[in-house]
Amino acid sequence: MTKSNKIRKATCELLFEKYRYPTSSRIIAECSICLEGITTVKETKLRCGHPFHDTCIMRWLREHNRCPMCRAGI
């Protein structure tokens, strides 16, 4: 991984918050990247408030610098 990729990854990790919910099979939200329900105990929200799976948003932010839902800048 190049230095710029490492910096970008570290920046991405600082720009979102992780929320924990009680373990449940109930769908908390839908990830707009993979279109699957978020039912795990962890989800990630960007500053704009849109929720995603951790792995989905990390993959997205490696290629893009905007929220996939509202296109707000990161």
Q: Give the predicted TM-score (pTM) of the model.
A: 0.61
- Is the separation of the CB atoms in 41 and 20 below 8 Å? yes
Count of residues making up the chain: 74
How do residues 7-54 score in pLDDT, each as one tens digit? 666 666 655 555 544 444 566 678 888 888 887 656 777 888 888 888
- Domain locations along the chain: 3-63
For the domain made up of 3-63, give the CATH fold: Herpes Virus-1 (3.30.40)
Task: Give the strand order in the sheet containing 42-46.
Answer: 16-20, 42-46, 51-52
Q: Count the Cβ atoms, other than its own, within 10 Å of residue 57.
A: 24
Show the tokens assigned to 4.
């710029």
